[in-house]
Amino acid sequence: MAVAASRVATRRPARTRPRLPEQVAWLTPLLVIATLFFLWPVVNVIRLAFTDTTLLRDGYSYTLQTFSQTLTDPSLPQVLGVTAIFVGASVAGQLLFGLAIALILQRAVARRLHGAVLVRSVVLSAWVMPGILIGVIWQIVLNEGPFGLVNSALAAVGLGPVAFLSDTDLAVASAVTANIWRGTAFTMLLLYAALQTVNDELLDAAKVDGAGRMRTLWHVTLPQIRPVLLVNAILITIATLNTFDMILALTGGGPAQATEVLALRTYNSVFVNFNLASGCVFAVFLLGASLLLTVIYRRILREDDE
Amino acid sequence: MRARSIDRQARIDDAFTYAGLALVLAFFGLPLLWLISLSFRDAAEVLVSTINPIPDNPTLDNYKEVLSSAQFPRFLLNSAVLSAIGAFGALAVAAPAAYAFSRIDFRGRRALMLAVLALQMISPLVLAFPLYRYFASLGILNSLPATGLVYIAILMPLATWMLKGFFDGIPKELDEAALIDGASRARAFLSVVLPIARSGLTAVFVIMALLAWAEFVIPYILLTGPSQLPISVGILNFQGTYATNATGILAAGSVIAVLPAVLLFVVLQRFIVGAFIAGALKG
């Protein structure tokens, strides 16, 4: 690398102005990759959504029918409903748990209590795991067979077994639980960092004024970390909306499509039903939702700057 | 008197804090403990309903079986290859761009940075279908290097933002001094800025490798043969395939699969966490 640099240096004396603006050379690799692997696929996913292409034959023609067929599919409301519950409950749970853990850790560190590092490490371990493995782990933990942790514990006190993964309602709750387990670390990290920036004088003033802890949290602490909370909520919403790996290993979308979220349906349309165009229609909607959330995210950060 | 009651209150609060820590540890730790416990149980003991995590007859057979299987070591190797391509490639592409964003004041810089951020929000699932078609027509489906290129692409936006944060933290005067001394920008970048940013580069590299290790959608769609799969996809093949001690073997495989990522992360967490928060909240 150093050799290449000196060659550049000798070929072109540093003070003369290059003809191309100098940023071009620095940005070229990024722009090439972005064009090939983002721009081009995005243009094509939109284009293919207006065709009748499948994985089973080569040719295709342009049509609006895929859109109307995909959107009028009688099973779509079920998918959207499960997605709303899965994303909504996951995000709410991760925010609540993440905030609670961040507050607990903050107090534990301030009081020099034992175990804070261990707890943080364990929470973070869940977060760095591949989603498939998280699905496998929870599939084992919630299993109705003798090796299921929760059902073994219930059996020890004479209860159960509970059909965590084969009852349609419970399966959704199980998927949400596993997803909260998976993603809470991210919220914990961001909120822990945000809590360090909360003005101590305001907290002390609230205490002097006799405000209770919950009131102080609600009226003093949370308003100060509001931008981080919102940004955090948006980032985890985008992440949850677009994932299906954990669910694939946990329930496979079942029982009877009870846990088939939009991202999994998107995949299934292409690789189970071979309907590439229909999958592209879903992908366009996922793309639209993510970009809309990104715009909101930017707006929040910008307001925070001002 | 008053001091003592405050002290007592603080102790009571400490007890609640410990209780909170214990609950968090139980929820996040018990599934992991259970997984480890199952991985050491033999076929008979897996079928015994118990809440005792320590097996009566601990065995290494599950680990032996997993590691001697034809597929599993291959999955680990593929994951390592893809993570290395993805993390090195993302750094190589992102570092010059991040430097330009940090140091060169050009028209449209802000818009371009926002565009890079928007790329970060595009799900790999959206990109995967057109890429699948494209790769199929080029005959490079099921190719590790071609899939590695896609890894570079999806890691690149976050890497760019994080590295820009690190470069912003290095005083401009340092590379300006090098420029005045007659060095080219490339030279100032390579011999002044990069060495100072080494800890930042390392943190970003590790984060990219971890993300690549966990990546699922891209390999799931673009890699089709079992010999090319990374562990994040391949472990699905172990779910419900083995007849004798399926659960024990699956557990052992899972432990091996997460161990590299978890160890790396726990050892370097202070380092990585700071970089991650900076990357997520700056801009």
* Residues of chain A with C-beta less than 8 angstroms from the C-beta of B34: 137, 140-141, 149
Pick from A12, A38, A40: which is nearest to B119 by CB? Answer: A38
pTM as predicted: 0.87
Smallest CA–CA distance, residue B154 to chain A, in Å, is: 8
Tell me, yes or no, whether B19 and B136 share the same domain: no
Residue B268 forms part of a structural domain: no
CB contact under 8 A, B269 and A124: yes
Predicted pLDDT of residue A93: 96
Tell me, yes or no, whether B161 and B231 share the same domain: yes
Structural domain containing residue B162: 70-238
Q: What token pair was written down for A16?
A: 């003369």
Predicted pLDDT of residue A8: 45
Between B241 and A155, whose confidence is greater? A155
Residue B271 forms part of a structural domain: no
Residue B276 forms part of a structural domain: no
CB contact under 8 A, A9 and B187: yes
- What is the count of structural domains for chain B? 2
What's the Cα-to-Cα distance from A209 to each of A202, A203, A224, rounded to whole Å? 10, 10, 18
* Residues of chain A with C-beta less than 8 angstroms from the C-beta of B220: 245
Predicted pLDDT of residue A3: 42
Residue B205 forms part of a structural domain: yes
d(CA B29, CA B35): 10
Instruction: With residue B20 as reference, give the H or E element that holds it.
Output: helix B2-39
Q: What is the CATH number of the domain that holds B211?
A: 1.10.3720.10
Give the bridge partners for A51, in sequence order. Answer: A62
Give the dihedral sign, CA B130/B134/B137/B141: negative
Tell me, yes or no, whether B51 and B143 share the same domain: no
Tell me, yes or no, whether B225 and B86 share the same domain: yes
CB contact under 8 A, A136 and B239: yes
Tell me, yes or no, whether B222 and B176 share the same domain: yes
Q: What token pair was written down for A153?
A: 């514990």
Tell me, yes or no, whether B52 and B90 share the same domain: no
d(CA A103, CA A119): 13
Residue B267 forms part of a structural domain: no
Please state the rounded mean pLDDT for residues A109-136: 89
Tell me, yes or no, whether B54 and B171 share the same domain: no
| B56 alpha-carbon distance from chain centroid | 35
Domain boundary among the residues B22, B42, B60 is at: B60
Give the bridge partners for A62, in sequence order. Answer: A51
Tell me, yes or no, whether B42 and B127 share the same domain: no
Predicted pLDDT of residue B278: 66
| B221 alpha-carbon distance from chain centroid | 19
> Which residues in chain A (48-107) have CB-CB distances under 8 A to chain B?
48, 100-101, 104, 107
Tell me, yes or no, whether B53 and B74 share the same domain: no
Tell me, yes or no, whether B114 and B222 share the same domain: yes
Tell me, yes or no, whether B54 and B75 share the same domain: no
CB contact under 8 A, A101 and B24: yes
Smallest CA–CA distance, residue A282 to chain B, in Å, is: 9
Centre a 10 Å sphere on the Cβ of residue B58 and count the other Cβ atoms it contains. 12
Nearest chain A residue to B191 by CA distance is A2
pLDDT in single tens digits along all 283 residues of chain B: 456 677 888 888 889 999 999 999 999 999 999 899 888 988 777 777 777 777 777 888 889 888 888 888 999 999 999 999 999 999 999 999 999 999 988 888 989 988 898 898 888 999 998 999 899 999 999 999 999 999 999 999 999 988 988 898 888 888 888 888 888 888 989 988 999 888 889 888 988 998 999 999 999 999 988 889 998 888 887 776 655 677 888 889 899 988 888 888 877 877 777 776 666 665 4
Domains of chain A: 77-130+164-305 (1.10.3720.10)
Tell me, yes or no, whether B219 and B97 share the same domain: yes
- For chain A, the average pLDDT equals 85
